[in-house]
Amino acid sequence: MLRRLNLDWLTFVVVSVGYISAYTITSGLVMPLQKIFKPQLPVVFSLLFLPHGIRVLAVYFLGWRGILYLIPCSYLMWAISVYGSSIDLAILSPLASLSVVYVAVRMVKTFTESRSTDAFGFSWKECLAIAAIASVFNGIVLSILHGNSFNWILMIGYSSGDMAGQIVLLLLLIAFMKINRKLSKFI
């Protein structure tokens, strides 16, 4: 089954560990700080949602297979949030978030015709455009799923947290690549 879908375990583990780590940092560090400094904000969104960056990068590099890799860990973290932290999230939230990222990737890659010059086909500008589009779509869809009607505050909260998470994740990746490049000169 996995071979027919062109999936492999190593990629699944890397994507899952990245997503679960980002979610753990968000829920274990960012959310408690957010409750201290901004207690008036709803607990259903984070002002720095790092897993959005993992979703964008996974779907950017792996295409539709990125969604398949992310579904198990997305639902695992959804279950922990809903049942462990008593955060009221709709059961379709993970699928909706993954779907809007795929739509955003297709939109941006179609519009730009993926003219990146990097060896891996990576363009940080494309990633930021994808993250911005997916953040807005995600904010709209999740605000509707959360309250059965559109809510501007939730939409802006989800969108800003997703976008901030993507920016921070890209900055961390850029710093990691620079450090890796400098260290590789010594080897």
pLDDT value at 131 more than 70: yes
| Cβ proximity of 161 and 146 under 8 Å | no
Whole-prediction pTM: 0.86
Per-residue model confidence as pLDDT tens digits over 55-79: 999 999 999 999 999 999 999 999 9
Q: Which of 126, 165, 132, 134 is nearest to 67 (CA)?
A: 134
Select the highest-mean-pLDDT range: 85-89, 112-116, 126-130. Answer: 126-130
Please give the Cα distance from 17 to 12 (Å, whole number): 8
The answer to whether 51 and 23 are in contact (CB under 8 A) is yes
Identity of the amino acid at 41: L
Q: What tens digit of pLDDT does each residue of 2-14 get?
A: 556 667 899 999 9
Backbone φ/ψ region at 63: left (φ over 0), alpha (ψ -120 to 50), beta:
left
Query: Which percentage of the chain shows pLDDT scores above 90?
Result: 53
Give the residue from 138, 151, 23 showing the smallest Cα distance to 87: 23
Model pLDDT for residues 23-42, shown as the tens digit of each residue: 999 999 999 999 999 888 87
pLDDT band at residue 119 using 50, 70 and 90 as cut-offs: very low
The pair of structure tokens assigned to 33 is 């700080």
